[in-house]
Amino acid sequence: MNQTTETNFADPIAVVQFLKKVEPFNELGISVLRKLAGKTILDFFPGGSKILEQEVSNVEHLYFIQRGGVRIESVDPVDGRTLKDMREEAEYFGTLSIISGGKSVFDVTAVEDTFCYMLERDTFMELIRERPDFAANLWERLSREVVGGVYEQIRSQKLQPRPEESLRLFNSPIKDVIKRQMETISADASVKQVAASMSDNRIGSLLVTDPSGQVIGIVTDNDLRNKVVAKGMDTSTAVRHIMSSPVKTISDEKICFDALVEMMHSQTHHLAVESANGISGVISAHDIMVDQGDSPISLYREIVAQKIVEGLYPLSRKMPLIVRSLILEGAKANDVTRMISILNDHIVSRVIGLVDQELGPAPYPFNWLTMGSEGRREQTFFTDQDNALIYETPPEGWDYVKDAKLFFRRFGNLAVKHLAACGYTLCKGEIMASNPKWRKPYAVWRNYFDNWMNAPEPQAVLHATIFFDFRAGYGQTELAERLRDYVVNQAPNRGIFLMHLARDCMSTKSPLSFFKNFLVEKDGKYKNRLDLKTRGLVPFVDFARVMALRHGLRETNTLGRIQILGENGLIPQELYAETMEAYEFQMQIRLVHQIRMIEEGKHPDNYIDPLELSDREKHTLKDAFEVINRLQGYLKNEFRVLE
Amino acid sequence: MKTLLEWLGFGKHELIVENRNYFKTFDRNKPLEDYEYVVLDTELTSLDPKHGEVVSIGAVKVKNLRIMMGGAFCCYARPSRPLPKDSTLIHRITPQQIENAPPLEEILPDFIEYCRGAVLVGHFLKIDLTFLGKALKKHFRGTLSNVWLDTLKLAQSYEEYKRRHVYSDDPVENSFNLNKLAVKYSLPLFEKHDALEDAIQTAYLFVYLAHKLKTTGCVTLKDLMVSQSNAALPSDQGYSTA
């Protein structure tokens, strides 16, 4: 009976043959593949059905697509639904979710009738443990996916994958990745206190110490869920009863990849990090896999979690990676630049907030003003600092004034220094809060604006382009809003000032020749290239500004301004539609150009080589440039500018 | 141990009795996912019920409407008479495979055991059940009492539904040949080595149809059984093993 039983059961040859086509599983060797095949299950998902639901589905299997295809999306309260990837036949999904704790990291939907071979989670984990060579290979691929190398096939053929870039995450030393200071809790503390501390510190684990301060264990949010909540344990229970002890450690000299492998080995998601002076922190799978990822939300989380200014220094450099994935996912340029601005705002706010904490209470309420492209929420990469300080006008008397001057001098200088360390280069025109001229009480600022609007000197026009796009930053918003009230009230009546702005806008000629060819730089470093910013984008920005000032709009974003103008019938509908389209298109071209430069290791600029554009892009860009002529024609009539 | 009566041919094999009793009180009103299915295919020496014999059985289990690729059943059986030389039905089996194989009656208890409690599924299953039944009757004085489903009938039922409810440019397909259906529904195709590959192919078809018919309102096993009994009788054109 036994003998027949054995002979009557068959190896699923078809599965083995399938797995031979799947990288890196094809490297496993026939006997391992046979074993895997024997444990394989096949499921069918009709087109359109949801296979996994983000943060809801427990991922019990690794899925191999035998026939069909799936769409992988992340769902986020901020960004909504974004496409992460498409998977096709002989590809797999679910690894990231299995590693990062079981709940699905993404939404996965069958795009057509789809057959999947499935391997049980435990079988997969066992394979990872027994075959470190295979695991290494798998992580390498996974890290590439996480960072975005595989999104190419969906979008923009222009961006090349950069495996070295993405691998860097896994190859970086652990000590560079631990972002937070070590948080500990006494072994006698209650579970309730643990939960409170985790939520205060926004972390998922605490190291547990004995009375001598020695680390004796670790407690994670999983412990709270599985050991306390699930079993209805009393929240006054001492943490020593639910902690994991001894705690698994790893040297901070090792690389993240080693940490992941160790986590797989010990079936844990947290490791204590050991430096020369003992345990110095905790690293989690989440830190490596998800927070190092490319989503804006993960960067946002990182920003708000920083407790010291130095922790913010490296964060703005992650921006290109994030922007890249946003573009690949098909985000519009204006949304991308807004997203950059939001993230920059968060970084700047956090820096200023920490400086504020460090220097103690300010003698007068103040606001950190952002100017220029930052004020318009139109930043791309590596923007200059354009900022200023406004504070409540002190009472008459030198002592009051001196207090304010001294405090805000330290404040301005320190903040600008930290921002520079974060990668925001110093403004060549010194329009920064470190310049005493741009660190003034409300009354002085009001006078500044009053003068600019009165005396239409060339300097005033230049300032207008930077200062009139100011926006409230960290601190008391009311000060900035009061200043905006003043500008909004006054500007529409300052006809001569507005006329000068309009004339300035008209002075930039559209970069098209009489025969509708691109006008490129004649010589120098950018020979044969097109200055997209100055010749293409600036006329739109100037147009939107002068029209916004004329009609007393508070909005500072260029597309925002144009939209309000258009929706309220303040500019002709046709002009409105083509302006929006032309501006967005140029922004898109610029972003893609800059990302490509970053990928090539160059400093991003605004000089486009027309030869790099497709025929279609050239055509659309020419259309966009022709809109400049129409904008200028409109301004000429509107402001009765004499040429 | 067989009892004396059984040995004399009066009794039925205990597995057969057990199987029959189990299906006497079988609940057909549960959702499709709740049943275990055994999808099977056989190879025959001839389609003639008088002379034909089963020389190979392939079968695979389906649980939760998922195919268990591991633990498939696959065996060869030595027929009581030598193979007819011109047998085209079993061109996928080499003479050696069969010469060294045990006779069918030694395999059948394993197979009955394999099918324990399961709903049987096959493509034009009637043929397979006829020849298996013949052997069971001869050797064990009984037959399989399992509830069964025929993917050919289910496919006809599904096509009928589509014809009535879904506008389609597809030409009306009269052939319900396993391979043609697999191509039509874009199922993964399997190389034809033996009965097991056909059983697996049929299992894919079954899982596909079960999901599709669910959307037409077939939720329980009973629903499927009703829908297959309403399907038109298979035409001659529909069945061919080649």
Domain ranges of chain B: 32-232
One-letter amino acid at B164 equals: R
Please tell me which residue of chain B has the smallest CA distance to A2. Answer: B110
Q: Does A118 touch chain B (CB under 8 A)?
A: yes
Q: Does A9 touch chain B (CB under 8 A)?
A: yes
pLDDT tens-digit profile of B103-124? Answer: 998 999 999 999 999 999 999 9
Kind plus residue range of the DSSP H or E element containing A119: strand A114-120
d(CA A603, CA A320): 12
Mean pLDDT for chain A overall = 82
Number of other residues whose CB lies within 10 A of the CB of residue A602: 10
The token pair at A540 is: 């739109």
d(CA B146, CA B130): 13
DSSP tag of B228: H
Residue from B61, B69, B76 whose CB has the most chain A CBs within 10 Å, to mutate: B69
Q: Does B112 touch chain A (CB under 8 A)?
A: no
Cβ(A561)–Cβ(A375) under 8 Å?
A: no
Contact assignment for B208 to A113 by CB distance below 8 Å: yes
β-partners of residue B150 are B122
Contact assignment for B75 to A8 by CB distance below 8 Å: yes
Q: Which residues of A touch B204 (CB under 8 A)?
A: 42, 44, 115
A9, A43, A66: residue with CB nearest B72: A9
The token pair at A469 is: 């796009």
Cβ(A93)–Cβ(A48) under 8 Å?
A: no
pLDDT tens-digit profile of A508-550? Answer: 888 877 666 777 777 777 878 888 988 899 999 999 999 999 9
Q: Tell me how close the Cα of A120 comes to any Cα of chain B, in angstroms.
A: 12
Please tell me which residue of chain A has the smallest CA distance to B203. Answer: A42
Contact assignment for B72 to A4 by CB distance below 8 Å: no
The structure tokens 């103040």 sit at A366
Q: Does B76 touch chain A (CB under 8 A)?
A: no
pLDDT confidence of A470, banded at 50, 70, 90? very high
pLDDT tens-digit profile of A353-367? Answer: 999 998 988 999 999
Cβ(A387)–Cβ(A371) under 8 Å?
A: yes
Residue spans of beta strands (DSSP E) within B77-115: none
- The dihedral through the CA atoms of A51, A53, A59, A65 has a sign that is positive
A8, A15, A46: residue with CB nearest B69: A15
Q: Which residues of A touch B200 (CB under 8 A)?
A: 12, 14
Of chain A, the percentage scoring pLDDT greater than 70 comes to 86
Higher per-residue pLDDT: B166 or A329: B166
B111, B200, B212: residue with CB nearest A14: B200
- Does position A423 have pLDDT exceeding 60, yes or no? yes
Contacts of A587 (CB under 8 A, 6+ apart): A333, A334, A337, A378, A537
Domain ranges of chain A: 2-122, 174-289, 296-449+470-481, 496-639
Reported as half-sphere exposure (CB side, CA atoms, 13 A), residue A176 has a value of 14
Instruction: Tell me the mean pLDDT in the region A178-194.
Output: 85
Architecture of domain A174-289: Roll (3.10)
- Does position A7 have pLDDT exceeding 70, yes or no? no
pLDDT confidence of A5, banded at 50, 70, 90? very low
d(CA A101, CA A223): 13
pLDDT confidence of A155, banded at 50, 70, 90? very low
d(CA B242, CA B240): 5
State ipTM. 0.87
Q: Structure pTM?
A: 0.49
Contacts of B112 (CB under 8 A, 6+ apart): B13, B15, B16, B19, B136, B144
A5, A8, A37: residue with CB nearest B69: A37
Please tell me which residue of chain B has the smallest CA distance to A41. Answer: B68
Q: Does B23 touch chain A (CB under 8 A)?
A: no
Q: Does A518 touch chain B (CB under 8 A)?
A: no
DSSP tag of A383: P
**pLDDT of the residue at A427:** 81
Domain A2-122 falls under CATH 2.60.120.10: yes
d(CA B235, CA B227): 17
Q: Tell me how close the Cα of A135 comes to any Cα of chain B, in angstroms.
A: 24
Mean pLDDT for chain B overall = 83
Q: How many contacts (CB atoms, under 8 Å) link A and B?
A: 78
d(CA A41, CA B64): 10
Q: What is the CATH number of domain A496-639?
A: 1.20.120
Contacts of B231 (CB under 8 A, 6+ apart): B153, B154, B156, B157, B160
Q: Which CATH superfamily is domain B32-232 in?
A: Ribonuclease H-like superfamily/Ribonuclease H (3.30.420.10)
Cβ(B114)–Cβ(B39) under 8 Å?
A: no
- Does position A164 have pLDDT exceeding 50, yes or no? no
Contacts of A138 (CB under 8 A, 6+ apart): A24, A95, A128
pLDDT confidence of A313, banded at 50, 70, 90? confident
Contact assignment for B197 to A14 by CB distance below 8 Å: yes
β-partners of residue A512 are A518
Q: Which fold has domain A296-449+470-481?
A: Beta Polymerase; domain 2 (3.30.460)
Contact assignment for A9 to B73 by CB distance below 8 Å: yes
Kind plus residue range of the DSSP H or E element containing A580: helix A573-599
Higher per-residue pLDDT: A497 or A100: A497
